[in-house]
A and B are shown apart, each in its own frame.
Chain A
Amino acid sequence: MGRYLLTRLVFALLLVFIVSSAAWLLTRVVPGTFVDQECVTLSPKECDDLRKRLGLDRPLWAEYLSWLSHAVRFDFGESLLYSRPVGPLIVERAANTAMLATIALVAATLIGIPLGIYSGTRAGIGRAIVRTLSVIAVSVPPLIGSLALVFLASRTGWFPVGGMSSAGGAEMTWAAWLADVARHLPLPALALAIPMAATLERLQSEAIAASSREPFVAASRARGVARARSILSHAWPVSLRPILGLYGVMIGTLFSGSFIVEVVTSWPGLGRLMWDALKARDLFLVAGCAATGALFLAAGTLIADLLLAYTDPRVRSGERA
């Protein structure tokens, strides 16, 4: 178990290191950085001063090492676009993305898993309806889903069409602000959750259908365990392995999805921040966003791996399952 944990941890750290370094190098090396754009309006003297202040006047390797040595201490430099330290800026936006992603993941789980258990263990019209809905829902990627939901919201007024809080959100009391955010949350969260819920439903349905054909489920029924109980406490836990594996994969999907949802619905998250940073070639902000994204991703995959190892002893011992 210790060895398994260690290799996963090393992989996670390597992921964060490579992704953020690659983002830094790519943004740094290509011509037309943020400073070059600023220098159009500055005198050569002012331009040199700006470079010096930002530490961009040294050889590439020295710049990179200096950035790296600060980055491991969570000091990602100063955003050129916002003239603010990158760290707090990212924390603020990453919290918004984390909130959106968590709510979407919880919603997808609460919708997808019970429906999957139902459609995997029952026959008849109910299962047909769930299956049809799920094939349709899995075909609504977040880009299409968020556009459709914005259309729905603008026609019905059921929820606000975009943003995270209403105008004047800064003056609200804490409780009022929370209620306001809660009103803005369902639209982007649903756009993210719908295809994920359908994916979970499909997989759970297949997994539980397979596991309820296992002899130990029949044995539990023969011992007189009620049908619902034999499904929930005997067949279901065994069917969880592929589902937990999917969660590891879904962290990536969640990130990709939340990017476009943030853009369409003006949710002030990490995705939008990175988009702004990329457009402005804001070197330190791009690298900081990439590092944070990779950190989230690595943490997510790590948690999914741990859950998998916890539920399946074969993974722990390195045996092929």
Chain B
Amino acid sequence: MIRTTTLFLAALTLIAVIAPWLAPYEAGDAFRDFLHAPPMRPHLDGLTPVVNPLVLADRLEQRFEPDRSRTVRLPWIERDRATPVFLLGADDFGRDVLSRLLYGARTSIGLSLVATLGAVVIGALAGAWAGYRGGWVEDAIMRTADFVLVLPVIYVVLVLRAVLPLVLAPSTVFVMVTLIFIAVGWPFVAKGVRAIVAVERGREYVQAAQSLGASPLRILAVHLLPACGGHLLVQATLLLPAFILAEATLSFIGLGFPDLVPSWGTMLAAAGNYNSIARFPWTLAPAIAIFAIVLLTNLLAARHTQNRH
């Protein structure tokens, strides 16, 4: 379980880091003659994958037809700006959806990874301190955690985000949204860590360390927190997709990143109106990406519960 979970988190980190380098075009590259161009289907010409370039059939209806007499090689092999290749179609500015999806992966997954890391660290520290100290410290921390857990997360995020100025620089948005996510995410981690630490605290190896004169800090860091490793990993895997979804939700309603920043939320915001959904469904590609990540997480969790029985 720990191996697959680590692999999963590592794979997502890798995607966040390298995705933009795989993108055939820049995120902001707009091809004005190809607004809402549909996805092109690649096929093999000998051994090289090629597509038929699109020609505008009707500008008013934004209808395109493939030109079967010509072929263009994929942009990773040969890039020609006159005949762009849209494997996942183009959006309302004629930008390549695939490229934006890959750039957006960095924004959305990156933000969620940072927020997850923050929530796990804060939650582990708070939970460990509560479990180790006991008494009123434990009460105060755990009551606060319970209180945050009862609130509907998205409303809290919404109110916290809405009291900030509406227009912020993308980097400020990144920091603020990350902080808000940490604020609502830490109790999930803290609860489990407290329970584990409270049990482990009474074990012989902790008493042995205490009798050898180890400081509380050392006992927590060296002996107790490693005991929570599995729990921390599981919580991280659960928080990550929740944060990805929360970013999408925030940007979707216009309280996340500004529209120019490629993120899965801003892409969905542009694609999420009735007209666009009905006529240009390929612009909803980030929804599929989010679904895939949530599904993978749930499959991991399902395997975990099966192993337990």
Binding site for B on A (CB under 8 A): 15, 18-19, 22-23, 26-27, 29-30, 32, 135-136, 138-141, 143-144, 147-148, 150-151, 154-155, 161-162, 206, 252-253, 255-256, 259-260, 263-264, 274-275, 278-279, 281, 286, 290, 293, 297, 301
Contacts and interface: CB of A to CB of B under 8 A. Distances in A.
Nearest to A254: B152
A279 B253 CA distance: 10
15 contacts: A19-B151, A30-B163, A135-B298, A141-B290, A143-B252, A144-B287, A151-B277, A154-B277, A155-B278, A260-B249, A274-B158, A275-B158, A275-B253, A278-B162, A279-B162
Contacts of A162: 274
Given A32-B165, A136-B295, A141-B245, A256 B305 contact: no
Contacts of A301: 150
B290 A144 contact: yes
A252 B295 contact: no
A143 B298 contact: no
A216 B284 CA distance: 52
Q: What are the 3 closest A-B residue pairs judged by CB atoms, nearest first?
A: A154-B278, A278-B162, A139-B295
Interface string B250-282: 001110000000000000100010100110010
Given A260-B249, A290-B159, A141 B150 contact: no
B255 to A, nearest CB: 8
Interface in B130-168: 147, 150-155, 158-160, 162-166
Contact of A260 (B154, B274, B278): B154
B55 interface: no
B225 interface: no
A286 B155 CA distance: 11
A143 B163 CA distance: 23
Interface string B3-45: 0000000000000000000000000000000000000000000
A305 to B, nearest CB: 11
Contacts of B284: 147, 151
Nearest to A31: B165
A155 B284 CA distance: 15
A107 B118 CA distance: 37
B159 A23 contact: yes
B152 A27 contact: no
Given A136-B295, A140-B291, A206-B305, A255 B155 contact: yes
Contacts of B159: 22-23, 26-27, 278, 286, 290
Question: Of B147, B150, B281, B295, which is in contact with the most chain A CB atoms at under 10 Å from its CB?
Answer: B150
Contacts of B155: 255-256, 259, 274, 290, 293
Interface range on chain B (Cβ under 8 Å from partner): 35 or more
Contacts of A255: 152, 154-155
Given A23-B159, A147-B287, 8 more contacts: A27-B162, A139-B291, A147-B277, A151-B277, A255-B154, A259-B158, A264-B252, A278-B162
B227 interface: no
Nearest to B161: A278
A297 B162 contact: no
Contact of B272 (A30, A138, A264): A264
A275 B164 CA distance: 14
A318 to B, nearest CB: 16
B277 A150 contact: yes
B252 A256 contact: no
A23 to B, nearest CB: 6
B1 interface: no
A297 B150 contact: yes
A138 B298 contact: yes
Contacts of A263: 252-253
A256 B277 contact: no
Contacts of A155: 278
Contacts of A281: 162
Contact of A135 (B150, B151, B166, B295): B295
A252 B151 contact: yes
B62 to A, nearest CB: 16
B150 A259 contact: no
B248 interface: yes
B150 A252 contact: yes
Contacts of B222: none
B285 to A, nearest CB: 11
Contacts of A264: 252, 272
Interface in B199-218: none
B175 interface: no
Nearest to B279: A154
B302 interface: yes
Contacts of A138: 298
B2 interface: no
Nearest to A28: B163
B274 A139 contact: no
Nearest to B290: A144
Contacts of A279: 162, 166, 254
B152 A293 contact: yes
A147 B162 contact: no
A75 B150 CA distance: 26
